[in-house]
Chain A
Amino acid sequence: MPYKQNKEHNLKEEFEKALGTEIDFTCKYIISPHHRMKGKRDKTIWTLSHDGEVECFIFSYSSEWFEGNICYGLVIENNTPVVVGENPSGGKLKLAKFIDSSNTSLWHGYPADYLERAQDRPNESILRSWVNKKYITKAKMLKIRSGKPCNL
């Protein structure tokens, strides 16, 4: 489905397809234009397409990588995380962060820059889940928690 910027997308059908069962919760997603425009000093930008961004959110939400009203995400190819975006300096980013900022089940997201922003580091529970699935190693888990670069 072609998703568009600045438009609320109800993802009920997508979740039911991903989970293989009917769902009884509401989950909407909006693609923020702030993370699509290059040149903003304090914003990371997606290199994923609109569809890729939403698919990343569905995968992350379905995997229950939650931390309160925050959800962290990855795009996995060949069991390895791939680049989802860039920071303002052009640094490649492989983590995604999604927020339901008003607690109304309306989510938006951006590429997370765990190296430059301490608050962009996923918690232990999420990182441990990634280690258990062999998406990252234990060494990379600690690098992320310690804000050190690693080749994810």
Chain B
Amino acid sequence: MAESRVLVVEDDQLLRTVIAEALREDGYAVDTAADGEVGLDLASRARPDLVILDLMMPYMSGEEFSEAMRQLDGLGSTPIILISASRQTDDIGARIGADLSLRKPFDLFALTDRVNYLLRRSA
């Protein structure tokens, strides 16, 4: 079985790095993007099995990103974990069909556990 790929789209440099590091430690191939535009480009090329998505980012919001990504061939039902400082994180997560919505600051292990659960099940 080829290793699962995770795409992290988050504009905060440290948070992005730490999430990527934790997931790599868990055995995933991780791509990172600091904004939605770069993220979409990566998604279309790297075909991630799961996306960790920030909501408020420059140039393109998390919502716009998810909509655009769903249009990409084969990425229509890729699981999304939403991470956001917004008070409406849960609502927005439900709206874009996120598998999990976490409000910042969140428990890193809640995030990694859900990634493991989703990817091992679908694998």
- B and A form one assembly: no
Which residues of A pack against B, CB within 8 Å?
none
